[in-house]
Structure 1
Amino acid sequence: MNNFKQICFASVFILLCCLSAVAQRKTVSSPDGKITLNIDLSEAIKWSASYQGKEVISPSAISLVVNKEVLGKKPKLLSETKRKIDERINVDVPRKNKVEHNFCNELRLNFKNYAVSFRAYNEGVAYRFETGFKNGIEVNSEELNVNFNKDSQVFFPEEESMISHYERSYVDTALVSLSSSRFCSLPVLVTSAGVRVLITEADLFDYPNMFLSATGGNSLKSKFPPVVLEAEADPGKPDRNERIVKEAGYIAKISGSRTLPWRVFTMTPDDRVLAESDMVFKLSRPVAIDTKWIKPGKVAWDWWNANNIYGVDFAAGINTATYKYYIDFAAKYGLEYIILDEGWSKTTTDLTEPNPDLNLQELINYGKSKGVGVILWMLWKPLDENMDVLLDKFAQWGAKGIKVDFMQRADQYMVNYYERVAKECAKRHLLVDFHGAFKPAGLHRAYPNFMSNEGVKGAENNKWSKLVTPDHNLMLPFIRQVAGPVDYTPGAMNNANKISFREIFDNPMSMGTRCHQFAMYVVYESPLQMLADNPTHYYKEAESAEFISRIPAVWDETKVLDAKVGEYILVARKKASKWYVGAMTDWTARTMTLDCSFLPRGNYRIEIMQDGINAERNGNDYKKMVQKITNGTKLNLKLASGGGWAAIIEKAD
């Protein structure tokens, strides 16, 4: 009898242990069932993710240290809730689609004083912490150790400091080859078990940016800039660079009860899905302003071409006559804006008075008479010190927006600065373009007047380096652009191959062909899209200028038809009744196929810009063609080395 009791007790004990172990494991899957997110709540909160049964992200610990208390250590689950999210979001300034489908399954786990929410989309997974304290708190750190399968590869946007313009090249290497001293900004792209994992963040407000450090193994771990307590001007460039003098022992001071940023992991073996993904937008908070006044468009930009116009009867430079020339050019080609970059103000630190060599009010009025708005460049610090007065003045002058530059930091104060600029500009119906900036992380959904964002090694680097190659250009749609709008500033009219390219600051050129530049206007997403080259060049290349000027800056629908990270991409986008197609390749010449089955039935006229027969020798060479097609047509696209292909499709009469 005693033996029987012992056996029963042991059986019950084993059963309870098994039930307890099961209770510590939670699962949530994507609506299509391909992605499964597993959560273990034993000694710590650990999660892993698999794609079609294959583990892509191995068990990875997460925690949040608040007032020196570790949230996530030996977690005790109080309750959980599950829900299916299936909503259509109307997008005010659509970079990809006029309507986004927010479709996922969510699991929320509630603990004492905090919760963690996990979401599984068909295109990836995300999680975030939520705090529930009564009083304000200090966040000492947030831990993420994300572990991948062995032999994982990474496109690593390495940083030397968290004080940066975040304009990086992507180091394509084995993850395990990176030492623990190396770290990167976001987004970063890892390939694990044959699946692409794009890591970034969303709904970033009142909290620092996340960076990721290598570990010397197959993992990456989080890194954050501390709160800045004291900064001083850098003697080398005191008007625009800072040195951090004193930092706090915590990364943020926040309200005790709030959500933290989403940690976003786009997961797909299909590079087309990666380039189409808009998880950052879907995970960020809804629009916070009136948007009826916002007008996306294209911009004639002065700085890249150094105001180096010619064939005119006045001295080119930062003066009234030169900018009237830009306005006339913009009006001729239907561009909505011009930018007055550095030099329009009396000094870079005094934004209250224009440069005496130009009549700013006359220019703004002249632009208004021609239907062209004026956007003003400025350094972030002078604006920060006198924001209300300056923005009131810009609005009173009749400016349509501002371009804010040289922020370089990514700490909590600077994140709040971005929101403050966007919010205060919205009150005055001013657009915003951020340069010298970290990547987008959700602000563009809450404040759609935040139109575009640098944080990319773009065309301006052609002025002084050989780093912006077609290979580099073919990484951007799959990495940086997944986070949000990208102000690459395309439109170069002097196009060169590897041998011919030269760095010329005042008369720059691009690497790759003219059609490579054409295609950027379809492939790259920026609701404030630049025409970076000299208006004189555009006048001399009127056919090119006319074609570019007809490509929209926002879209109703996007389809990535063919793609491979770093090598090629073929994109079709719809605006109203027309379709626009762009194809780009790296330094490898290739033939691609455009299957027109995405078109509705009917007859269409397609206007094509394709690489000329001599484009590999002279990048300026292109050929224009017009023909009839239907949705049954398949076109062979021949792209030269560093080449491109672009087309406008409309219903035939």
Structure 2
Amino acid sequence: DKQIGYDKTQELAQYARSKNVGLLVWYNSNGHWNQAPQTPTNVLFEPESRRQEFARLKQMGIVGIKIDFFGGDGQSFMNYYQDLLTDAAQAGLLVNFHGTTLPRGWNRTYPNLMTMEAVKGFEFLTFDQRNTDQEATHCATLPFTRNAVGPMDFTPMAFSEIRGKQRRTSNAFELALSVLFQSGIQHYAEVPEGMAAQPAYVQDFVKKLPPRWADVKLVDGYPGQYAVLARQAPGGAWYVAGINATDAPKTIQLDLGKLGLQSGTLITDGDTNRSFSTRAVVGTTLSVTLPARGGFVVQP
């Protein structure tokens, strides 16, 4: 509403649609009493203005909303979340909640709820080097805790360096997060220039990732140390991803036969923690040695 305005936002939505891209727009959830300076404010809190705004967004070609800065877990806010979801569903808009409470199964009642933040995601890695240093351990904990509860908008996968910080994880570790973490819409942290610098087989892997998953299995892991998950695409094919959060190399033995996999492609760490290597997987067993804070993916 301030930087480019509604008319330019509509123009951007039309251009995006020509590229088969749908836009979500950001809103401050709060009313006039909120002290956060980011706008739009005092638009969604009252039912009448909220429904008018949602109808306007739909007419503009916007596909969803990202609503931020929720004020607590009191009953009034629990009701407010569901009012937002109900009105957004009636307007035909997807929803992503940020600065928010934990998901509690709402996406079963409201299928337009794509994801919720409720996690110290990639954003926190940019705030302080101590957070950046803890990324590997944090990421190896989340599949067993926060993400087991519901969809999580961590905004994973950064190959580029974080401005003013030293990223401790390898690029293969970051790639693995694209499968390891589940979100109704997976918003990647990587910028176009950084993705363009990666090998073609890495770009191809990300392009072909399923937009949703049909099933998940824990293959191996221990919270805070390492995690290996298998996720099944709607067509039945299984993807496997794993990360090593420790400071020492770790060898992981995989029985791919349990997933019905007899062949595939392994992408893992290369000679450095900023490079990749790949090889064909033949047979039902696979041994992968991950360097400290390294990772891997297996695609069918």
Shorter-chain TM-score range: 0.7 to 0.9
Note the C-alpha offset of 1:371.
1.2
Which residue of 2 is the match for residue 571 of structure 1? Answer: 229
Alignment of 1:126-275 (within 5 A): none
Q: Secondary structure at the match of 1:432?
A: strand
Q: Given the alignment, which residue of 87, 92, 111 partners 1:429?
A: 92
Aligned-partner SS, 1:414: helix
- Aligned pair 1:611/2:276, yes or no? no
- How far the C-alpha of 1:509 sits from its partner, in A, is 6.7
Q: Which of residues 346, 355, 369 in structure 1 aligns to 2:18?
A: 369
1:469 aligns with 135
Q: Map 1:560-639 onto structure 2 (within 5 A).
A: 560-575=218-233, 576-588=235-247, 589-600=249-260, 603-604=262-263, 606-615=264-273, 620-629=274-283, 633-639=284-290
* Structure 2 counterpart of 1:379, one-letter code: N
Counterparts of 1:16-165 in structure 2 under 5 Å? none
Q: Which residue of 2 aligns with 1:642?
A: 293
Instruction: Compute the RMSD of aligned alpha carbons.
Output: 1.9
TM-score normalised by L of structure 1: 0.41
SS of structure 2 residue aligned to 1:475: helix
Q: CA deviation at 1:511?
A: 3.1
Out of 538-547 and 465-474, give the one that drifted further: 538-547
Q: Which structure: greater strand fraction?
A: 1
Q: Cα distance 1:642–1:514, how it changes in 2: closer, same or farther (>3 A)?
A: same
Contact in 1 for aligned 2:226/2:246 (Cα 8 Å)? no
Amino acid at match of 2:153: D
Which of 172, 177, 186 aligns to 1:529? It is 186
Q: Are positions 1:547 and 2:205 aligned together? A: yes
CA contact 1:556–1:573 (8 Å) conserved in 2: yes
Q: Which has the higher helix share?
A: 2
C-alpha contact (below 8 Å) 1:454/1:488 kept by paired residues: yes
Q: Using the TM superposition, give the Cα deviation of residue 370 of structure 1 relative to its aligned residue in structure 2, in angstroms.
A: 1.8
Q: For 1:415 and 1:542, how far apart are their aligned partners in 2?
A: 45
User: SS state of the match for residue 530, structure 1?
Assistant: coil
Measure the CA separation in 2 of the matches of 1:599 and 1:483: 24
DSSP 3-state at the match of 1:512: coil
Q: CA deviation at 1:480?
A: 0.9
- Over 4 Å off, 4+ runs: none
Residue by residue over 1:116-156, the C-alpha shift from the partner in whole angstroms, topping out at 9 and shown as x without a partner, is xxxxxxxxxxxxxxxxxxxxxxxxxxxxxxxxxxxxxxxxx
Number of equivalences = 280
What is the rounded CA distance, in whole Å, between the counterparts of 2:122 and 2:207 in structure 1?
18
Q: Percent identity among equivalent residues?
A: 29
Alignment check: 8 A CA contact 1:493 1:509 kept: no
Cα distance in 1 for residues equivalent to 2:167 and 2:210: 22
3-state SS of 1:359 partner: helix
2:147 paired with 1:488: no
Tell me: CA distance 1:392–1:548, structure 2 relative to 1, closer, same or farther (3 Å). same
Structure of higher CA gyration radius: 1
Is the 1:559–1:571 contact (alpha carbons within 8 Å) kept by the matching residues of 2?
A: yes
Could you give the per-residue CA deviations for residues 446-479 of structure 1, whole angstroms, max 9, x where no partner exists?
1121110101011111211231420111111111
SS in structure 2 of the partner of residue 552 of structure 1: coil
Structure 1 Cα separation of the partners of residues 240 and 216 of structure 2: 10
TM-score, scaled relative to structure 2:
0.87
AA in 1 matched with 2:170: T
Contact 2:268–2:277 (Cα < 8 Å) also in 1: yes
**Residue pair 2:66, 2:95 contacting (<8 A) in 1 also:** yes
> Which residue of the partner structure matches residue 243 of structure 1?
none
CA contact (8 A) 1:610 1:638 kept: no
Distance 2:21 2:266 in 1: 28
